[in-house]
Amino acid sequence: MKRLTIHLIILAFAGLLPFAGSAQLLQGKVPNLRPYDQTGINVFEPQKDSSVFNGISLRVGAGFTQEFQSLKHRNFIGETSSNGLYQITPGFNQAMANLYTDFILADGIHLNLTMYLSSRHHNESWVKGGYLQFDKLPFKGQAWEDIMQYTTIKIGQMDIDYGDQHFRRTDGGHAFYNPFIENYIVDAFATEIGGEVLVQNHHGLFGMIGLTNGSLKGNVDSVVYTAQNGAIRKNPAIYGKVGIDRRLSDVVRLRLSASYYHDNSSASNDLYFGDRTGSNYWMVMEKPYTVPPAGTGAYAGDGFSGRLNPGFSYKVDALMVNGFAKLGGLEVFGTFEHGQGRSSTESVNRQFNQYAVDGIYRFGHNENLFIGVRYNGVTAELKGIASPITINRVAGAAGWFLTKNILLKGEYVEQKYLDFPSNDYRNGGRFNGYVIAATIGF
């Protein structure tokens, strides 16, 4: 399967060669698209650039990350019983890699295609998704120009713009935007099929509305029936965001946003389980892998170590509020998230609350050095557990951009699992230690 996928990738690039011969090969920034290097940090929704169309153009980019992990974990049982933990030692994690191709097809019309070449959860190559972005429309008339002066339209399979945290997370091999190693404990990230309309003005006010299929994959399957909820309809997911992002001076920037996501019925909603790359903490707080062959099969099968999936696969309503402030080299980014929903085999909704705050200080030439600290806490009602549980994480990080395309960063983390029942392997659980990552982005 891997060999076949590699052959297909080679053939795909061979197919691009004639196109590349007639198109311009771009280097660096593409108008209205986020850069993949250091200059893409703290870039949120695409900003309108004044650019001149000079013919069809192509930019090829990538993200590569190699990590070394030295983490220890434990619970009240230990590593020897049936409720023990997977035995881990310090070592290198599997390297992860992303491939990006961005095309300028016409004046104000862009195409993005992203591939995961290597990742933990799916270690074979995958097409993550692709979308068209319209900053201009190919229609004549002043009215269309006036509308598109403030409007951006995205159509395809893409990262949905729910909340601001997805702009600061690690995505497979691309780890530049995240000053830490891992993403939030409850990781709201999904690649869904649909469209978004973003409107923003020159004063920093913006609003967005989106409509998708509410699932990672497209399908034409018939409805599923469960005793608890009857026919499981495939309703679309509706979501939106409003906010303000203002630069008050050359050194002061403030941003505040609120997002809401609603899916009333889905056979497999993936808002909190949509990451196909997996966690960057390998095999912490996981049970021993009993299905042969042991080893790498566990890495993919238990691909989300250290995270919590609330299990809202049938119905979900979620609210995220984010605040961001930058004063010179000091950054503060905060998150409050409330979600509620249930799986198709439940009849009553459950809920969770998540809090997180990052403090980052960037300094040196072009802010090429940084240090930071993060707190992330979750209290959740889980299926099959009578009382709410709590997971807390504290992490400290530091990093050095050798160039705008090369980053070395490290993190020390401690995470604790509280209020789990005595028969749960996470009872009394905790892990701590450090992870070092070398990453490239261009």
Q: What is the 3-state secondary structure (H, E, C) of the chain?
A: CHHHHHHHHHHHHHHHHHHHHHCEECCCCCCCCCCCCHHHCCCCCCCCCCCCCCCCEEEEEEEEEEEEEEEEEECCCCCCCCCCCCCCCCEECCCEEEEEEEEEEECCEEEEEEEEEECCCCCCCEEEEEEEEECCCCCCCHHHHHHHCCEEEEEEEEECCCCCHHHHCCECCECCCCCCCCCCCCCCCCEEEEEEEEEECCCCEEEEEEEECCCCCCCCCCCEEECCCEEECCCCEEEEEEEEEEECCCCEEEEEEEEEEEECCCCCCCCCCCCCCCCCCCCCCCCCCCCCCCCHHHHHHCCCCCCCCCCCCCEEEEEEEEEEEEECCEEEEEEEEEEEEECCCCCCCEEEEEEEEEEEEEECHHHCEEEEEEEEEEEECCCCCCCCEEEEEEEEEEEEEEECCEEEEEEEEEEEEECCCCCCCCCCCEEEEEEEEEEEEC
State the amino acid at position 258 in one-letter form.
A
End-to-end CA distance of the chain: 28
326, 300 contact by CB (below 8 A)? no
Whether the pLDDT of residue 431 is over 90: the answer is yes
pLDDT confidence of residue 29: 66
Q: Is the pLDDT of residue 17 over 60?
A: no
Q: What is the mean pLDDT of residues 153-162?
A: 96
Residue 162 has a pLDDT of: 98
131: pLDDT strictly greater than 90: yes
**What pLDDT shows up at residue 81?**
55
Taking 70 as the threshold, does the pLDDT of residue 255 lie above it?
yes
Q: Which domains does the chain possess?
A: 2-441 (2.40.160.10)
- Asked if the model's pLDDT at residue 237 lies above 50, the reply is yes
Asked whether residue 109 carries a pLDDT value surpassing 90, the answer given is yes
pLDDT on residue 26 = 65
pLDDT of residue 171: 97
Q: How would residue 3 be classed by pLDDT, with cut points 50, 70 and 90?
A: very low
- Least confident stretch, 26-30, 174-178, 180-184: 26-30
Question: Do 233 and 223 form a contact (C-beta atoms < 8 A)?
Answer: yes
pLDDT over 90 at 21, yes or no = no
Buried b (16+ CB within 10 A) or exposed e, 71-106: bebebebeeeeebebbebeeeebeebbbbbbbbbee
What's this model's pTM, rounded to 2 decimal places? 0.90
- pLDDT for residue 49: 73
Q: Which of 160-164, 181-185, 287-291 has the weakest average pLDDT?
A: 287-291
Question: Predicted confidence band at 9 (pLDDT cuts at 50, 70, 90)?
Answer: very low
pLDDT above 90: residue 122: no
pLDDT at position 82: 59
What average pLDDT does the chain have?
90
- What is the pairing mode between strands 96-106 and 237-247? unpaired
Mean pLDDT on 223-249: 91
In this prediction, residues 351-379 reach a mean pLDDT of: 98
Q: By mean pLDDT, which of 73-87, 111-125, 325-339 is the weakest? A: 73-87
Can you give the pLDDT at residue 267?
Answer: 86
The pLDDT, as a whole number, for residue 412 is 98
With tokens 């400290």, the residue in question is 396
